[in-house]
Structure 1
Amino acid sequence: MSEDEARRAASPPGAARRCGTEPSPGSTGTRIHVYTFIQSDSEELPILDNEMFHSIKPGLSAYADSPETAGHTVRMLLKVAKRTVPRVMWKRTPLVLRATAGLRLLTAQKARALLEQVQHVFDESPFLVPDNSVTIMNGTNEGILAWISLNFLTGHLNAQTKKTVGILDLGGGSTQITFLPKLRETIESAPVTDFVARFDIFNSTYELYTYSYLGNGLMAGRLATLGALGAEGMEWRVFKSSCLPKKFRDEWSFGGITYHVSGDPEGYTGFKLCYQEVLKVVKGVIHQPYELEGSNVFYAFSYYFDRAVDAGLIDGVYGGMLQVRDFKKRAKEVCNRTTKYPSISPFLCMDMTYITCLLKDGFGFKESTVLQLTKKVNNVEASWALGAMLDHFHNLKIH
């Protein structure tokens, strides 16, 4: 059977089936998404027929000093792609890797060495490797592509729809906010033009409020709270925090560096003290948009979802709706009883306090704001990867 016959046999009449493969390395994991689309008309939105998703920890940035190991990680993920994509379609299935904050936080030299290893693995693979198939994605695009993914999956990405959803993405190294403003003041009062992005998709032009805060992801936020972000003398310093249990002392690794961390055995612990520490990392760094309330339903995912599950606020499969005050209430409970939660993570108090502070004092959400916490929408992973694949196929000209 020829390739075209195989594709027609597996697709509805008049439709073309295409696959796209998107490895997405962040600071805390490397993931592969294999998407199968059905495209009946190039002017129309394609139909997402299937997604295969697989994740490996840690992220590529953990191999900053041994790039060959990063290549091995990508090879393992490509084995998954080979099992998923029919062999007859390998040569016409584009393979694209977009690295995120984990690599943005590395030195240019270390990041380049990692990307060269990945490119080598891609070049020896049987898939279609386009130009610029291996790059570090800028944070703004990460937010925009996540917005495209979520609005595509929720059915809001067509010319008739006036309603869209906003996105809040909390990664390890960076955090993004993206939404479609209803008021001109939101665009006009943004600090710099970097907060506004336009792109065209399916005969519509969108102008989004979007920003990516590098260094304000959950793991980078831990480091900043501990005073360890960019600090000297890692080998001998112990970084203390009142957000950690008093008797806690351990090593903790992020981005290929190991830190000695501990609670403060002489001091006090609890939510108030922890909040003061975290506030220094957020206050004055995160811009509060002119309009937030009532403009959009916000979908929050990645570490927002994971920590809400760890804290017992939502179901780990179905997610759920939470108010900002739910994060605050649980943060207080966890911080004021650190001994009760040590088995989950000694960092849970810090993480829940950081999320509360980021939402309230950072972005300026009210405590009554309802967020939709989700990992999957219509059985598809909530992330920027789907948007990246749509961008690859349709060249959205993001600017």
Structure 2
Amino acid sequence: MALLINPRNQKAIFGAAALFLVFLLFVLTPSPMSKLQSEVIADITPQDTTIAPQDTSFERVGGIPLADEEETVPHDATPVINTNENGESYIDGTAAAELDTTATPAIKEFGVEPLGGAAHADSKTSKTHSTAAATSTIGSSKADKSSNKPFYDTAEGAKAAVADKNSKSSSAASKGKSGSSKADQKSSSSSSLSSSSADISEGKIAGCSNKEEYVVMIDAGSTGSRVHVYKFDTCFSPPKLLNEDFEMLKPGLSSFDTDTKGAAKSLDPLLEVALKSVPKDKQGCTPVAVKATAGLRLLGEEKASAILKEVRRHLEDDYPFAVVEGEGISMMDGSDEGVYAWITTNYLLGNIGSSKKTPTAAVFDLGGGSTQIVFEPVDGEQMIEGEHKYEISFGGRDFTLYQYSHLGYGLMQGRRRINAAVITNALEKKVAGLTPLSELEAKDESATAKVTIQHPCLPPGVSATNVKVEMDDKKTSYLVNFESPAKSEDDPLAKTAATQCRFLAEGVLNKELECESKSCSFNGIYQPSLRHQFLPSSDMFVFSYFYDRLQPMGMPLSFTLEEMKDITNLVCAGSSYWKQYLVQPESIKELEEEPMWCEDLSFMTSLLHTGYDIPLNRELRTAKKIEGNELGWCLGASLPLLDKNSGWTCKVSSAN
């Protein structure tokens, strides 16, 4: 047949064959970088995801899986490392499983089934509220992910390649080539989201000009107190937020226990900020309120009431502000805390306060003593009746919200629960010398621990000394040293640290408790499904401790839960991985100074995924501020106080 082929065609065929052979040789020969990448992955990825039995293994305690149970959630043992066009390594939050490109971009499934169970339906009636409407110049915004650097060491390109893997690969590659400048890295740590829309204020009141009013709100939290001084222009309907001054201090009111005068005086530095922020001629007609949250509630009603009574006396006798009567100085109900945070977030985003029916964001607040969830279900009217159902009117619109405050599941309480589970396991194993503290010993701040216990939430080679652990009965406590079961990162036990810690974190959520409805979150509490009852296109905001723990690790302001799990695994893997894959030097310092960071991140990830049932690939957003205004419940609680009939009267006549 070759004799019948035109000689010119023969040359073309032979040339094509030669090129094909060269192509095969290129494809089949591994590059040095791909070989190095494979070695790194093999080095940090367990050969077997089953946790091998060991002397330090954790038996089931309150829902904690046995140490030799297989991990049921895939891709969770260690970070997955990829390489970009420039040969740079980065941690891929989605590489372990291909995204379903046919799904809605904001909520693609990873094949993880919704966590079932029923729910606790409260028989009490739902709450209905009318909240004074207000707004600001912020408007709604979607944070530009490209402006916020990720924790990956290839800067913007790596994050773009991970987050938009299937739909924006060409754009990601072009960004990846540019690398990151020092200015870019600085912008990555910005805690404030910016707005891209116009002023959402609907109109100025005719004949009104320059009518400025102030509100002072003090947040008495479990770990510290914070003051927010808000300045509004009430010539707008709804009123416009002009400025916020913010300051915080530690410790919180609850740390003073029975020292009521000391607790009240501890607020003086915050009140000095208010005195400087509010003009003297406005101070007498500026309402001040103090709202205590979960930390003070945990002290007990008698001690908490005594502290708040002294705080009220101190404000009324020693400061010029108009103290709000009744609930103005009080322990805030957990439901109000969450709803006010929802109002703050959506108000600053421009989702509420105008006549436009804009979809609203869900909020997840994580304090020290409690965590709150608030969102607007798709069919809120069909929600089971109970205290979780919260109806409000704001800016001419009616909203039916689901809200719940999980007391005892804030970050510090979550850490306490995990540590208590570790102590319980040690007691069952009859660890020598492990005895509870006496009442006198429990008050001795200088006491030193005599017993060392292995804690799977500590990275290899890390220890924590003189840790006081309060047990679930709130009466018994222990003083111990904790150490990692893995002596080094080469220790086989280091390979399962993240998995063991996650098992502990999931165990304290009590997912196995029976519920009375078809949908629940954790601890037997009813919750409409976020997978089916919340718009996929709507934002989910996580803040407070979520922000405080993630941002030092270089996480961007927008990320998936899968990426959050990856950074958790990286933190739990040990110091050599911190130094290799964390861009910011400050991140290393944070991890070296706080041995419980792996535990905290594991609890947070478990709370969002296992507790609230948020899909792994769901995009989350976080921020400390929006256009310079702090997120949290304080702004939402301050807005109603602009109403002169909201429970306060001027101490002196206002100059205006």
TM-score normalised by L of structure 2: 0.53
DSSP-derived class of the 1:146 partner: helix
AA aligned to 1:136 is M
Q: Which moved more, 1:305-314 or 1:207-216?
A: 305-314
In the alignment, the residues of structure 2 paired with residue 91 and residue 377 of structure 1 have an alpha-carbon distance, to the nearest angstrom, of 29
Q: Could you say which residue in structure 2 is the equivalent of 1:102? A: 295
DSSP-derived class of the 1:142 partner: helix
Which one of 262, 267, 270 corresponds to residue 481 of structure 2? 262
AA aligned to 1:219 is M
Answer yes or no: is the 8 Å Cα contact 2:344–2:632 preserved in 1.
yes
Q: Could you say which residue in structure 1 is the equivalent of 2:62? A: none
Q: Is the counterpart of residue 23 in structure 1 residue 205 in structure 2? A: no
In the alignment, the residues of structure 1 paired with residue 421 and residue 510 of structure 2 have an alpha-carbon distance, to the nearest angstrom, of 18
Q: Could you say which residue in structure 1 is the equivalent of 2:630? A: 381
AA aligned to 1:380 is N
Q: Could you say which residue in structure 1 is the equivalent of 2:86? A: none
Q: Could you say which residue in structure 2 is the equivalent of 1:274? A: 501
Q: 1:139 to 1:163 in 2, by over 3 A?
A: same
After TM superposition, give the deviation of residue 313 of structure 1 in Å: 1.6
In the alignment, the residues of structure 2 paired with residue 265 and residue 242 of structure 1 have an alpha-carbon distance, to the nearest angstrom, of 6
DSSP-derived class of the 1:262 partner: strand
After TM superposition, give the deviation of residue 260 of structure 1 in Å: 3.2
Q: 1:263 to 1:111 in 2, by over 3 A?
A: same
Answer yes or no: is the 8 Å Cα contact 2:457–2:484 preserved in 1.
no
AA aligned to 2:611 is G
Q: Which moved more, 1:262-271 or 1:365-374?
A: 262-271
Which one of 574, 583, 589 corresponds to residue 337 of structure 1? 574
Q: Which moved more, 1:277-286 or 1:302-311?
A: 277-286
Q: Which runs of 5+ in 2 are unaligned?
A: 1-206, 425-434, 443-448, 487-492, 512-521, 579-587, 647-656
Answer yes or no: is the 8 Å Cα contact 2:391–2:401 preserved in 1.
yes
Q: Could you say which residue in structure 2 is the equivalent of 1:346? A: 595
Q: Could you say which residue in structure 2 is the equivalent of 1:233? A: 436
Q: Deviations over 1:133-177 (max 9, x none)?
A: 210001110000001111111111123223111111111001111
Q: 1:76 to 1:238 in 2, by over 3 A?
A: farther
Q: Could you say which residue in structure 2 is the equivalent of 1:3? A: none
Which one of 363, 371, 391 corresponds to residue 167 of structure 1? 363
Q: Could you say which residue in structure 1 is the equivalent of 2:235? A: 40
Q: Could you say which residue in structure 2 is the equivalent of 1:86? A: 279
Answer yes or no: is the 8 Å Cα contact 1:243–1:263 preserved in 2.
no
Q: Is the counterpart of residue 140 in structure 1 residue 389 in structure 2? A: no
AA aligned to 1:112 is S
Q: How does 1:49-198 map to 2 (within 5 A)?
A: 49-124=242-317, 125-132=319-326, 133-157=328-352, 158-184=354-380, 187-188=383-384, 193-198=386-391
Answer yes or no: is the 8 Å Cα contact 2:452–2:483 preserved in 1.
no
Q: How does 1:279-290 map to 2 (within 5 A)?
A: 279-284=506-511, 285=522, 287=525, 288-290=527-529
Q: 1:259 to 1:161 in 2, by over 3 A?
A: farther
Q: 1:122 to 1:228 in 2, by over 3 A?
A: farther
In the alignment, the residues of structure 2 paired with residue 280 and residue 55 of structure 1 have an alpha-carbon distance, to the nearest angstrom, of 33
DSSP-derived class of the 2:373 partner: strand
Q: 1:370 to 1:217 in 2, by over 3 A?
A: same
What's the C-alpha RMSD, in Å, of the aligned pairs? 2.8
Q: 1:119 to 1:254 in 2, by over 3 A?
A: farther
In the alignment, the residues of structure 2 paired with residue 144 and residue 273 of structure 1 have an alpha-carbon distance, to the nearest angstrom, of 35
DSSP-derived class of the 2:390 partner: strand
Answer yes or no: is the 8 Å Cα contact 2:375–2:402 preserved in 1.
yes
AA aligned to 1:193 is G
Q: Which has the higher strand share?
A: 1
After TM superposition, give the deviation of residue 66 of structure 1 in Å: 2.3
Answer yes or no: is the 8 Å Cα contact 2:222–2:293 preserved in 1.
yes
Q: Deviations over 1:242-294 (max 9, x none)?
A: 11245513235799x99635334557551011011111112423555322461
Answer yes or no: is the 8 Å Cα contact 1:247–1:262 preserved in 2.
no
Answer yes or no: is the 8 Å Cα contact 1:186–1:289 preserved in 2.
no
Answer yes or no: is the 8 Å Cα contact 1:104–1:111 preserved in 2.
yes
Q: Deviations over 1:317-366 (max 9, x none)?
A: xxx10111111001111112167554241111001111110111011111
Answer yes or no: is the 8 Å Cα contact 1:250–1:260 preserved in 2.
no
In the alignment, the residues of structure 1 paired with residue 314 and residue 335 of structure 2 have an alpha-carbon distance, to the nearest angstrom, of 27
Q: Could you say which residue in structure 2 is the equivalent of 1:317? A: none
What percentage of residue pairs aligned between the two structures are identical?
Answer: 31
Answer yes or no: is the 8 Å Cα contact 2:380–2:401 preserved in 1.
no
Q: 1:123 to 1:23 in 2, by over 3 A?
A: same
Q: Could you say which residue in structure 1 is the equivalent of 2:416? A: 223
Q: Could you say which residue in structure 2 is the equivalent of 1:311? A: 553
Q: Could you say which residue in structure 2 is the equivalent of 1:298? A: 540
After TM superposition, give the deviation of residue 230 of structure 1 in Å: 12
After TM superposition, give the deviation of residue 298 of structure 1 in Å: 1.0
In the alignment, the residues of structure 2 paired with residue 338 and residue 262 of structure 1 have an alpha-carbon distance, to the nearest angstrom, of 20
DSSP-derived class of the 1:193 partner: coil
Q: Which moved more, 1:86-95 or 1:130-139?
A: 130-139
Answer yes or no: is the 8 Å Cα contact 1:293–1:369 preserved in 2.
no
In the alignment, the residues of structure 2 paired with residue 65 and residue 140 of structure 1 have an alpha-carbon distance, to the nearest angstrom, of 27
In the alignment, the residues of structure 2 paired with residue 357 and residue 47 of structure 1 have an alpha-carbon distance, to the nearest angstrom, of 38
- How many residue pairs get aligned? The number is 374
AA aligned to 1:176 is Q
**More relative contact order, 1 or 2 (CA 8 Å, 6+ apart):** 2
Q: Could you say which residue in structure 1 is the equivalent of 2:639? A: 390
TM-score normalised by L of structure 1: 0.86
